[in-house]
């Protein structure tokens, strides 16, 4: 018999260690499995060597271990339809899965789908055209002024967005994308007007009809200090974000969150999970840059520690259609996360370097991302290695504490940004 308190968490990054840490303190979780997890999640539950996209292996594991709740961390299993896979299987149908169906996950899985959805529901976003030929793209580019934004329609591991300074470069890039630069993902391209402003991330938990707002965060995407160099998965995060004033929040809720959830409901989309709104503040007005169908990484590392509620309570209400009665409770202090990366990331980097953590700062969270245990030794196992989160009375205070905590971690090639939150 499946038991909702036996939880399987899918994924293995910093986001998942944060979920696992929170669940390890949660009386509504009596047993936690993480597939595949990392060295950090292994301290919160039992890691199982199953890929988050191996549905038949997940099925077998869930049935053998009476798992009653599955939490999906990353987008890929969602876009590939893990929720539908459970719903269509009589043996799995009653197991609660936190995440949208494949149809709902299209908000992230197809940029063209997301743009059309926003158009249908009057949600502010950059002007765009969806193209499959260079000629079509050329016509639209003529109506825009530089810089030009090109987005592969499908999932491209966070690399599918190119921003070009002039039209000739944009056309060249478009040609390369349509020719399959990102495989099938870029056979269709969304060309967008460039929006100028400051970005922030907003998260809601929704059952596709009603929603609860979680704390907002700001992510630092570029590898270099002063927001320079190539894009990464995220080098740090701060929550809350001081420039997201009550006035801005009001606009975000009425112009973006409400119409999005009403759109999901009007289109009968099965969506029981997180919506991550990547927003940009253009002169006091919020626009959607992108939707994601999951929590952010490293935003989760700053957002979840501020949540007082037990996740098991939220998920029970979400799956039981009782999200309305949920009160979200937030710790008012600022949380700041600094990501430690392997030398060379986001380009080529090494794995397998030994990691030493000595005299941890007690008030900081050492959240593992790309780590594993090899021959009893903690070693690096990804580009983003560890995320360190601390609380403070201001972004500067919280970041200062995380910077101190970072000094306790040693591995060859360790890199991080010292300027997280400095712009806030």
Query: Between 8 and 149, whose beta carbon lies closer to ligand AMP?
Result: 149
Please, what is the minimum distance in Å from the beta carbon of residue 280 to ligand AMP?
Answer: 7
Please choose, out of 31-39, 191-199, 235-243, 380-388, the segment that lies near ligand AMP by the rule CB under 6 A: 191-199
Q: How far apart are CA 47 and CA 44, in angstroms?
A: 9
Is there binding between residue 190 and ligand AMP (CB under 6 A)? no
Q: Which of residues 229-268 bind ligand GLY (CB under 6 A)?
A: 233-234
Burial of 376 by CB count in 10 Å (0-12 exposed, 13-18 middle, 19+ buried)?
exposed
Cβ–Cβ under 8 Å, residues 151 and 130: no
Q: How far apart are CA 130 and CA 267, in angstroms?
A: 21
Q: Which of 45, 96, 296, 370 is the binder for ligand GLY (CB under 6 A)?
A: 296
Cβ–Cβ under 8 Å, residues 341 and 384: yes
Please, what is the minimum distance in Å from the beta carbon of residue 303 to ligand GLY?
Answer: 11
Is there binding between residue 192 and ligand AMP (CB under 6 A)? yes
Query: Between 233 and 286, whose beta carbon lies closer to ligand GLY?
Result: 233
Residue by residue, DSSP assigns 160-179 as -EEEESSHHHHHHHHHHHHT
Is there binding between residue 161 and ligand AMP (CB under 6 A)? yes
Give the number of residues written for the chain: 424
Q: Which of 76, 108, 290, 297 is the binder for ligand AMP (CB under 6 A)?
A: 290
Please, what is the minimum distance in Å from the beta carbon of residue 299 to ligand GLY?
Answer: 6
Establish whether the linkage from the previous residue to 86 is cis, with ω within 30° of 0: no
Is there binding between residue 292 and ligand GLY (CB under 6 A)? yes
Is there binding between residue 219 and ligand GLY (CB under 6 A)? yes
Q: How far apart are CA 310 and CA 297, in angstroms?
A: 20
Query: Between 130 and 299, whose beta carbon lies closer to ligand GLY?
Result: 299
Burial of 143 by CB count in 10 Å (0-12 exposed, 13-18 middle, 19+ buried)?
exposed
Residue by residue, DSSP assigns 171-237 as HHHHHHHHTTTTGGGGSSEEEE----SEEEEEEEEE-SS-EEEPPPBEE--EEETTTEEEE-S-SEE
Please choose, out of 84-92, 165-173, 291-299, 352-360, the segment that lies near ligand GLY by the rule CB under 6 A: 291-299
What binding mask, one character per residue, do residues 311-350 give for ligand AMP by CB under 6 A, x or -? ----------------------------------------
Q: Which of 63, 87, 195, 198 is the binder for ligand AMP (CB under 6 A)?
A: 195
**Contacting residues for 173 by C-beta, under 8 A, at least 6 apart:** 150, 162, 164
Among ligand GLY, ligand AMP, none, the one that 126 touches (CB under a kind-dependent 5 to 8 A) is: ligand AMP
Q: Which of 192, 207, 216, 299 is the binder for ligand GLY (CB under 6 A)?
A: 299
Is there binding between residue 149 and ligand AMP (CB under 6 A)? yes
Is there binding between residue 75 and ligand AMP (CB under 6 A)? no
Please, what is the minimum distance in Å from the beta carbon of residue 120 to ligand GLY?
Answer: 24
């Amino acid at each position: 018999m499946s038991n909702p308190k036996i939880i399987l968490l899918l994924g293995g990054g910093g986001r998942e260690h944060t979920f696992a840490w929170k669940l390890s303190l949660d009386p509504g979780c009596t047993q936690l499995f993480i597939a595949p997890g990392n060295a950090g999640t292994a301290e919160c539950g039992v890691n199982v060597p199953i890929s988050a996209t191996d549905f038949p292996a997940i099925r077998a594991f869930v049935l053998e271990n009476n798992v009653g709740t599955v939490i999906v961390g990353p987008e890929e299993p969602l876009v590939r339809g893990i929720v539908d896979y459970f719903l269509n299987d009589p043996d799995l149908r009653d197991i609660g899965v936190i995440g949208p169906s494949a149809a709902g996950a299209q908000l992230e899985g197809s940029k063209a789908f997301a743009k059309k959805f926003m158009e249908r529901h009057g949600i502010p976003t950059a002007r765009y055209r969806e193209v499959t030929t260079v000629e079509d793209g050329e016509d639209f580019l003529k109506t825009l002024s530089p810089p030009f934004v090109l987005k592969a329609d499908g999932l491209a591991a966070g690399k599918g967005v190119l921003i070009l300074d002039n039209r000739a470069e944009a056309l060249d890039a478009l040609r390369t994308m349509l020719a399959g630069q990102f495989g099938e993902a870029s056979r269709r391209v969304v060309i967008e007007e460039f929006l100028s402003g400051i970005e922030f991330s907003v998260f809601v938990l929704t059952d596709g009809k009603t929603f609860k707002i979680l704390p907002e965060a700001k992510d630092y995407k570029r590898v270099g200090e002063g927001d320079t160099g190539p894009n990464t998965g995220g080098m740090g995060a701060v929550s809350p974000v001081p420039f997201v004033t009550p006035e801005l929040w009001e606009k975000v809720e009425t112009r973006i969150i409400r119409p999005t959830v009403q759109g999901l409901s009007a289109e009968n989309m099965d969506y029981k999970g997180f919506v991550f709104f990547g927003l940009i503040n253009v002169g006091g007005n919020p626009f959607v840059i992108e939707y994601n169908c999951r929590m952010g990484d490293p935003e989760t590392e700053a957002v979840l520690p501020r949540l007082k509620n037990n996740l098991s309570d939220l998920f029970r209400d979400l799956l039981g259609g009782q999200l309305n009665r949920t009160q979200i409770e937030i710790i008012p202090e600022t949380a700041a996360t600094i990501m430690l990366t392997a030398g060379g990331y986001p380009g080529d980097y090494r794995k397998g370097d030994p990691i030493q953590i000595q005299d941890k700062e007690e008030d900081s969270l050492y959240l593992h991302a790309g780590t594993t245990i090899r021959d009893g030794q903690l070693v690096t196992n990804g580009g983003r290695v560890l995320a360190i989160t601390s609380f403070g009375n201001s972004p500067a205070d919280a970041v200062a504490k995380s910077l101190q905590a970072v000094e306790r971690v040693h591995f060859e090639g360790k890199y991080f940004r010292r300027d997280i939150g400095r712009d806030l």
